Structure 1
Amino acid sequence: MIVRPRQHWLQLLLVWHGSVLRHILFRLGLNGALAIFAVCLMPWLKGHGLELSTAPFSLIGIALAIFLGFRNSVSYDRFWEARKLWGGLLVASRCLLRQAQTLTGRAPTDPAVREFCHLLVALASVLRHQLRHSLASPAAQADLQRLLPADLAAAVARAQYPCVRLLRELAAWVRRQHTEGRLSEVAVQSMDRNLDELTLYHGSCERIAATPIPYAYSVLLHRTVTVYCTLLPFSLVSAAGVLTPVVSVFIAYAFMALDAIACELEEPFGTEPNDLPLNAMCLTIERSLLELCDADSLPLPASPDRFHVLD
């Protein structure tokens, strides 16, 4: 996620990192080359009466802008819903750990409370790796070994649905406290509701990750943008003349950038600069829960890199 400070309007014109320009620069170059070709071909086109009017392109451009705006709204809704789900994951984790301390009467530094804390942190970490398809990576294995006992870490690593396995371990912890007489029936029900919330957030993230915007819809818009921007210079050449390359590239940038932004926001759990900073959010959850356990030291907070990207 880009976390730049507020910038002057002139600086925004020159921003490279975090913009989608790097994704569409080649296509813009092709559009500019076509526009130069159209300018060179203008006398021949006029001589053969092959001039395109800007009127149909204006109508198509308005309709295309509306469709692209709709698709961007849908993509941003997915992004914002994903952000709210991870915010809910943080809140539910805090509530569960607080209840694990206050309702059981255990001290924040009690080993059983620390065990519950590590299960919650592991759940967030595993969910992050699952959404980013990196469960088999060394980083994911290191997180499991750091947070969980060796036998449980191995079981979670082998599981087809590791988050579900961790949720079962959390529920088993609650059951053990009830068996030991530390949790009443009412307290168990209260904690179970928060466990249900965790399950809902986890399942909703899976739904977003597994259900992209319909492919045919994306292909239609991408093809329309490409054809429109390809023919655009030939409609502008009679009105803009030698300025056709400048005008054509500017218009093409607006349409291609909207298409690229929608593609990037469609998958909010990825690793692009404008995707959600899942690593930073997992670190926030871990720091928050460890502080509730009165840990002696906390991991350093996440900070943006030199390009203002928070991973």
Structure 2
Amino acid sequence: MHIKKIYTTKEMFWWTRFETMLFFFIITFWVSIYYFFELNWLKIPWTPLALIGTAVAFVIGFQNNAAYGRIWEARKIWGGIVNTSRTFGVYVQDMVNNEYAEEDWDEADLQKEIKTLTYRHIAWMNALRHAMRMPKPWETTVKHKTNQEWGARPPELDTNLEDDLKPYISDADYQHVINKSNKPTALLYLQSHHLRALKESGVIWEFSFLQLEDIIQELFSLQGKSERIKNFPYPRHFATLNHFFMWIFVLLLPFALVPQFASIGNDVLVNNPQVGKFFIWLAIPFYVIVAWIFHTMERIGRTGENPFEGTANDVPISTIARGIEIDLRQNLGESHDKIPKQFEIKLHTQF
């Protein structure tokens, strides 16, 4: 089970407070010059602005759907890693035995092989989560001031891959893997070679070997799917233009909204002079609300484009990987004091 950041209404406004203050200053500026300098000619009709707003709404909706699709696909991939890892763990424990061996192995030697295979799988998960946290040029959401304010960071930023690999693999395996550009792939190669060697010694039955190789193949497939999302960003022309379109709409909106409130104020002025005189200032809260909605929806889409970037709303791959490790090591019979704890929850966020 994992917990992600759930924004309350208060936190959502705090998350977007800088942009909200900017919207307030923009509309206050336009209302002030319209009110004090009586610039009745400074306006645009609603029709073209409504067309722009409709187009922006469609593009934002498309972006949010695409971003959610990327997040959901990434979560399904890592859910598959959970299930496949558990299957691998139980297969290794039950299929590495003396049933078909030409010469019986000591039970201690069998348990050593089981532990080596299990630990190497844990190393693979650690290598994969580190690979997914490697920064890409298009991953800029995490650098936003309000995203950094939560004070929570993915653990991959506070540890290095070398330290997370050494406890789980031999020195020979470490030297073999550390020089490879794709370390998760190198670890799966070692797993396959190890399984073949055990099959040739008779410790793994040939049919069992094929089943375990199917697990390795599935892990390759899940790794490739995860790498596809990581290495292929949401198309930048969609993301960039959508951002520009949103700001064009937000900056043009006062030219139609302020004159509209001024016109309503003139109508009210006939029956209620005090209200009618200051009615134009009501454009400020209405503009801020409309601009905030458009901007926040667009920003939510941008936040969800890269589900492995390391923000509070990404897929919690570190927590998932650590949870699998805990399950595997507990089922190896290790004591609780030797098994690492789950990563700490910070501000209701797990990575």
**Residue matched to 2:271:** none
Match among 299, 302, 308 for residue 340 of structure 2: 299
Aligned to 1:224, the other structure's residue is in SS state helix
Runs of 4+ in 1 over 4 A off after TM superposition: 43-48, 106-109, 134-138
Q: Could you tell me how far 1:167 is from its partner in structure 2? A: 0.4
**Residue matched to 2:9:** 13
Q: Could you tell me how far 1:34 is from its partner in structure 2? A: 1.4
Q: Could you tell me how far 1:43 is from its partner in structure 2? A: 4.3
Match among 57, 80, 94 for residue 86 of structure 2: 94
Q: Are 2:308 and 1:269 equivalent residues in the alignment?
A: yes
CA distance in 2, matches of 1:117, 1:137: 25
Match among 160, 182, 194 for residue 139 of structure 1: 160
Taking a change above 3 Å as real, the CA distance of residues 98 and 80 of structure 1, as seen in their structure-2 partners, is same
Does structure 1 retain, via aligned residues, the 8 Å contact 2:88–2:215? yes
The alignment of Structure 1 onto Structure 2 pairs a total of residues equal to: 301
Match among 42, 45, 49 for residue 41 of structure 2: 49
Q: Are 2:177 and 1:156 equivalent residues in the alignment?
A: yes
Q: Tell me the TM-score normalized by structure 1.
A: 0.89
Taking a change above 3 Å as real, the CA distance of residues 293 and 47 of structure 1, as seen in their structure-2 partners, is closer
Q: Report the AA paired with residue 304 of structure 1.
A: I
Does structure 1 retain, via aligned residues, the 8 Å contact 2:5–2:313? no
CA distance in 1, matches of 2:89, 2:51: 58
Cα deviation digits, residues 116-146 of structure 1 (max 9, x gap): 1111111111000011117897431111111
Q: Are 2:40 and 1:38 equivalent residues in the alignment?
A: no
Does structure 1 retain, via aligned residues, the 8 Å contact 2:117–2:191? yes
Cα deviation digits, residues 156-176 of structure 1 (max 9, x gap): 222111011000111012111
**Residue matched to 1:116:** 117
* Map 1:1-311 → 2, pairs under 5 A: 3=4, 12-14=8-10, 16=11, 19=12, 22=15, 24-43=16-35, 47=39, 49-105=41-97, 110-133=111-134, 138-240=159-261, 241-297=280-336, 298-305=339-346, 307-311=347-351
Cα deviation digits, residues 68-109 of structure 1 (max 9, x gap): 111111111111111111111111111112111112227798
Taking a change above 3 Å as real, the CA distance of residues 136 and 67 of structure 1, as seen in their structure-2 partners, is closer
Does structure 2 retain, via aligned residues, the 8 Å contact 1:2–1:309? yes
Does structure 2 retain, via aligned residues, the 8 Å contact 1:20–1:260? no
Taking a change above 3 Å as real, the CA distance of residues 165 and 4 of structure 1, as seen in their structure-2 partners, is closer
The farther-off stretch of 170-179 and 130-139 is: 130-139
Q: Report the AA paired with residue 290 of structure 1.
A: R
Cα deviation digits, residues 56-77 of structure 1 (max 9, x gap): 3233222211211111111111
Cα deviation digits, residues 158-195 of structure 1 (max 9, x gap): 21110110001110121111011122222111111111
CA distance in 2, matches of 1:67, 1:45: 37
Does structure 1 retain, via aligned residues, the 8 Å contact 2:250–2:291? yes
Q: Could you tell me how far 1:208 is from its partner in structure 2? A: 0.5
CA distance in 1, matches of 2:13, 2:315: 16
Higher alpha-carbon Rg: 2
| Percent pairwise identity | 24
Taking a change above 3 Å as real, the CA distance of residues 309 and 137 of structure 1, as seen in their structure-2 partners, is closer
